[in-house]
Amino acid sequence: MHKLPIIAAAFLILVNVIVLAGINTNRSGEANARLQLTERELVMPYRSRRQKENSGLALKLNWGIIPEKLFTSNYRKYGLYSYGTPGWLTKDKLKELGLFIDSTKHGVNEDFFDNRKLPAEAFIIVLEYNGKAFQTLLQKAEKEILEMRDSVEKNPADSDLIRQLNRDEESLMQLKTSASRLIAIDAGRNLQTLRDKYPDSNRYLMMRGEIRRYWANRKLTARINKLFISNIHVPLPYSEVITDITNREALTNGNTKWKGKPRYWLELNVGQRLEPWIGEVGEL
């Protein structure tokens, strides 16, 4: 009986040694990515807005996709979301990733196939920060707003059109000032291949995640199901800096995302094992 506490203590020491060894390995050498993100991309969880935690806090990595069909919703028309099928995740891309299923060769009935039989598979997801994908989306949204303003000028009595323009202008403002600029643009299995394709470590973030296939409307499609690490731990003393900044302004609603301009920035590093850590923080 007296040996149990000794065994337990030895086990805890061993676990700590393994964890620290993993951290050292991840942070050794040159970082795979080093990006300066803001509150737009690293979101304060609601429960942490009002209380400090002695052990730090975790910020949610906020990212989105650009679907093939843009601006189909009348509510938050220009909002960015992480669910749905990215425009680049085409039939050819599924073949490249080894995910395509030819229903005629495999005897699949698209009408009655149980999507639960298609397991999610692990990949490296490439996220681009404030690059071509986001800027192209922003330009298209701005062009559409200009066209809608022209329509309102030609139809000044159309109250429905005016209301839609007001909603869309508000959505565009959120896209410009508070939406995440971190966009999933590619995926693959080989890190070096992706690094050669996207060499700018200050622009591209690579994280492990999974892609899930499913049948919809008699067509095989897929989505990024999740990133394996989506909550980024912010240790002391950095967590105190962020909570001090965010606690100055009390939220009056139950939203988990701050809707104004970002209030802080953080240096996000990703190491050899594609595990992130926070380097620096500051106030905007």
Q: Tell me the average pLDDT across 106-118.
A: 62
Q: Which residue has the higher pLDDT, 35 or 52?
A: 35
Confidence band for 254, pLDDT divided at 50, 70 and 90: very low
Question: CA–CA separation, 142 vs 261, rounded Å?
Answer: 19
Question: CA–CA separation, 186 vs 164, rounded Å?
Answer: 33
- Residue 29, sorted as left (phi over 0), alpha (psi -120 to 50) or beta, turns out to be left
Instruction: Say if residues 225 and 211 touch (Cβ distance below 8 Å).
Output: yes
State pTM to two decimals: 0.85
252: its two tokens: 């009056």
Average confidence score pLDDT of the chain: 84
Nearest residue to 57 (alpha-carbon basis) of 231, 272, 258: 231
Instruction: Say if residues 198 and 126 touch (Cβ distance below 8 Å).
Output: yes
Q: Which pLDDT value is given to residue 29?
A: 60
Q: Which pLDDT value is given to residue 208?
A: 98
Question: CA–CA separation, 70 vs 66, rounded Å?
Answer: 7
C-alpha distance from residue 123 to each of 22, 143, 148, 204, 249 (Å): 20, 35, 40, 16, 39
Least confident stretch, 46-55, 87-96, 102-111, 159-168: 46-55
Asked whether the bond before 262 is cis by omega within 30 degrees of 0, the reply is no
Instruction: Say if residues 101 and 213 touch (Cβ distance below 8 Å).
Output: yes
Instruction: Say if residues 189 and 124 touch (Cβ distance below 8 Å).
Output: yes
Confidence band for 189, pLDDT divided at 50, 70 and 90: very high
Question: CA–CA separation, 106 vs 96, rounded Å?
Answer: 18
Burial class (CB in 10 A: 0-12, 13-18, 19+), 239: buried
